[in-house]
Chain A
Amino acid sequence: KQEVTQIPAALSVPEGENLVLNCSFTDSAIYNLQWFRQDPGKGLTSLLLIQSSQREQTSGRLNASLDKSSGRSTLYIAASQPGDSATYLCAVSGWDSNYQLIWGAGTKLIIKP
């Protein structure tokens, strides 16, 4: 059974710092991996999606990498801003039912002005 773990559970850093969020998964046979952002009362927003054949994806100040062999993904946030404060979740899907996302518990990120 696929399990997704995110460490740390919470992170607080000063504005302007570069930071890395970690996601690990137990079964390397994934279809894809996504990073989401969750703001209180506003649902989930997809940030980046990495297909199993890809190694990384970039969007603005965000870069996500995928290493299937080690069961790891990282989300790199450059030049953090207070508006980046949110909970970041990663989710993976398998080949048999690729609509069924398996989620980590998230990392709560606080960027201090």
Chain B
Amino acid sequence: GAGVSQSPRYKVAKRGQDVALRCDPISGHVSLFWYQQALGQGPEFLTYFQNEAQLDKSGLPSDRFFAERPEGSVSTLKIQRTQQEDSAVYLCASSLIGGTSGRGYNEQFFGPGTRLTVL
């Protein structure tokens, strides 16, 4: 079956430009996650959606970062006024259900990522 897809796969932006990164989760998956992975580092959590509700955005590095999932399926991560430090791979993951304390855990399936380079 189809996995998590992300587009574009590569994005080059000039400093100051706005960018939008798209994630198509696995059909029927309730939860969706965004991660940022700098070169040579592990991913870092950005935000978490359960259906259309953004339940956790504690990892967003600044107010230039904004994520939405208006219909509970496709999600978009928007970065305004990009800076060079935003250069990274942005990973999206989805899971059948999300987890909170005591409610079980579902495996997260990852997309291939979008590599953003800000010049």
> Which residues of A does B touch, CB under 8 Å?
4, 31-32, 41-46, 49, 89, 91, 93, 95-106
User: Contact: A101 with B45, CB < 8 Å?
Assistant: yes
**B112, A100: Cβ atoms closer than 8 Å:** no
Partner of A103, one of B44, B95, B101: B44
Against A, the Cβ 8 Å flags (1 = close, 0 = not) of B43-78 are 111001000000010010000000000000000000
Interface residues of B (CB under 8 A from A): 4, 9, 31, 33, 35, 40-45, 48, 56, 59, 91, 93, 95, 98-102, 105, 107-113
Specify the chain B residue showing the minimal Cβ separation from A101: B45
Residue of B nearest to A41 (CB): B112
Known contacts A41-B112, A100-B56; can you find 6 more A-B pairs with CB under 8 A? A44-B110, A99-B31, A101-B43, A101-B108, A102-B45, A106-B42
Sorted nearest first, the 6 A-B pairs with minimum C-beta distance are A103-B42, A44-B110, A98-B99, A43-B110, A43-B112, A99-B99
Q: How far is the CA of A91 from the CA of B45 in the complex (A)?
A: 11
Question: Which among B42, B112, B113 is the interface contact of A89 at CB below 8 angstroms?
Answer: B42
Cβ-defined contact, B113 with A43, below 8 A:
yes
CA A99 – CA B34 in complex, angstroms?
11
Q: Which of A32, A43, A96, A104 touches B105 (beta carbons < 8 Å)?
A: A32
Closest CB of chain A to B68's CB: distance in Å? 18
Task: Enumerate chain A residues within 8 angstroms of B111, measured Cβ to Cβ.
Answer: 43
Indicate if the CB atoms of A99 and B40 lie closer than 8 Å: no
Contact yes or no, B41 A105, CB < 8 A: yes
Chain A residues with Cβ under 8 A from B44's Cβ?
Answer: 103
B25 to chain A, nearest CB (A): 13
Given contacts A43-B113, A49-B107, contact A91 B98 (CB under 8 A): no
Say yes or no: A31-B105 contact (C-beta < 8 A), given A41-B112, A97-B56: yes
Contact check, A91 vs B42: say whether CB atoms are below 8 A apart. Answer: yes
Residues of A within 8 A of B105 (CB): 31-32, 93, 98-99
Contact A99 B112 (CB under 8 A): no
